[in-house]
């Protein structure tokens, strides 16, 4: 079962990556925007949530700021910290990503009924909670080509 699950995971990852290409948003950028959608986080909190080395996080945030998706500012409560927030342009990009991902899901899981999809989701969450799995962004970045 694990081997089949790995094969299906690669196929799903390829589908998501290909769906993101026309939008121009990378998996790491998507992961960051998803974390920021509920409000600003400190740079350290975001790095922890994404399980990223601080130097890699800075590079990611530089890219997000350059594209107008995120903005860094000093925390008014602690001037030593930076807060990272999502811009309206970042929200619009994330909305496009979510719509594209829903299309990929619909196609990928088309052989299942809605009830089967819900059961599969529950079972995968249960397995994920009992297993140490890498963050989704690591898996998504590791694959090549569409």
Domain of residue 127, residue span: 2-140
- Assigned domain for 92 exists: yes
Residue 34: exposed, middle, or buried by beta-carbon count in 10 A (0-12, 13-18, 19+)? middle
pLDDT number for residue 144: 54
pLDDT number for residue 10: 93
Are the beta carbons of 120 and 112 closer than 8 angstroms? yes
Cα–Cα dist 9/103, whole Å? 16
- Assigned domain for 107 exists: yes
| 10-residue mean pLDDT series, the chain (146 residues) | 93 91 89 94 92 92 96 89 94 96 95 96 90 56 55
Domain count, the chain: 1
pLDDT number for residue 133: 66
DSSP-derived 3-state class of residue 81: strand
- Assigned domain for 145 exists: no
pLDDT number for residue 78: 86
For residue 80, what is the enclosing H or E element? strand 78-86
- Assigned domain for 91 exists: yes
| CATH number of residue 44's parent domain | 1.10.10.10
pLDDT number for residue 64: 96
């Amino acid at each position: 079962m694990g081997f089949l699950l790995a094969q299906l995971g690669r196929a799903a990852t390829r589908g998501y990556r290909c769906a993101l290409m026309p939008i121009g948003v990378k998996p790491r950028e998507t992961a960051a925007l998803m974390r920021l959608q509920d409000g600003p986080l400190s740079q350290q909190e975001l790095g922890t949530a994404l399980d990223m080395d601080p130097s890699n996080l800075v590079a990611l945030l530089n890219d997000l700021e350059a594209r107008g998706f995120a903005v860094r500012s000093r925390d008014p409560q602690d001037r030593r910290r930076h807060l990272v927030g999502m811009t309206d342009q970042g929200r619009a990009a994330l909305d496009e990503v979510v719509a594209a991902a829903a299309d990929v899901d619909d196609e990928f899981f088309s052989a299942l009924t809605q009830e089967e999809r819900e059961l599969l989701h529950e079972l995968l969450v249960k397995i994920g909670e009992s297993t140490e799995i890498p963050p989704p962004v690591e898996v998504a970045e590791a694959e090549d080509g569409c």
